[in-house]
Amino acid sequence: MYERILVAYDGSAMSRAALAHAIRLADICGAELRVVHVLDAVSPFGMGAGYVPADLLDAMRGDARRLLREAYEQARVAGVACETELIQLANLNDDIAGGVAREAAACGARLVVIGTHGRRGMRRALLGSVAERVARQAPCPVLLVRADDAAAAAQTGGAAEESTEAGG
């Protein structure tokens, strides 16, 4: 069914929930897991292009590598084959969603798993959704996982019922 599953991971509660869900799915399906972290080196604070000092960029890369090692270790402990990839954006016209979608295409992912806030109304309109943009751009189905859904799934030992799969 899913030979390769890509999961976007930034260490947030949402992405930890997505990682846990992706590891369970990969284990069930016998799939390889590819964990990606997208580093926005162009606009790291969401305020347009600006100069990022080299020491700050090095620290950001170090944090990203630490997160990827953490994710790799979780997959390894679960017995799931895992690769990690640090993607660094370097173009003003690029964004995190585009980086995830391009990597999904490049690695031949059959499913993308990504965490989502589950915002509604004005907050969603104002803040947008990386997960929604990934679902629109990805070359394969996208599974959106809310942190509270994954917590419920962990308690019941099953898949989160409220997660949504959207075709790409």
The reply to whether the predicted model has a pTM over 0.85 is no
- In this predicted structure, what is the pLDDT of residue 167? 47
- In this predicted structure, what is the pLDDT of residue 111? 98
- In this predicted structure, what is the pLDDT of residue 159? 46
What is the count of structural domains for the chain?
1
Q: What is the CATH number of the domain that holds 162?
A: 3.40.50.620
Q: Within a 13 Å sphere around the CA of 1, how many CA atoms are in the beta-carbon half?
A: 8
**Residue (of 44, 49, 47, 78) closest to 63 by Cα position:** 44
- In this predicted structure, what is the pLDDT of residue 54? 84
User: What letter does residue 73 receive in the DSSP assignment?
Assistant: H
Contacts of 10 (CB under 8 A, 6+ apart): 37, 38, 67
Domain span including residue 29: 4-166
User: What letter does residue 33 receive in the DSSP assignment?
Assistant: E
* 24-27 contacts at long range (C-beta below 8 A, 24 or more positions apart): 24/78, 24/153, 24/159, 25/111, 25/113, 25/143, 26/2, 26/75, 26/80, 26/81, 27/78, 27/79, 27/80
The distance from CA 161 to its chain's CA centroid, rounded to whole angstroms, is 19
- In this predicted structure, what is the pLDDT of residue 94? 83
Q: What is the pLDDT along the chain (168 residues), one digit of tens a residue?
A: 899 999 999 999 999 999 999 999 999 999 999 999 999 877 655 555 566 788 988 999 999 999 999 999 999 999 999 999 999 987 777 889 999 999 999 999 999 999 987 655 555 444 458 888 999 999 999 999 987 755 545 544 544 433 444 444
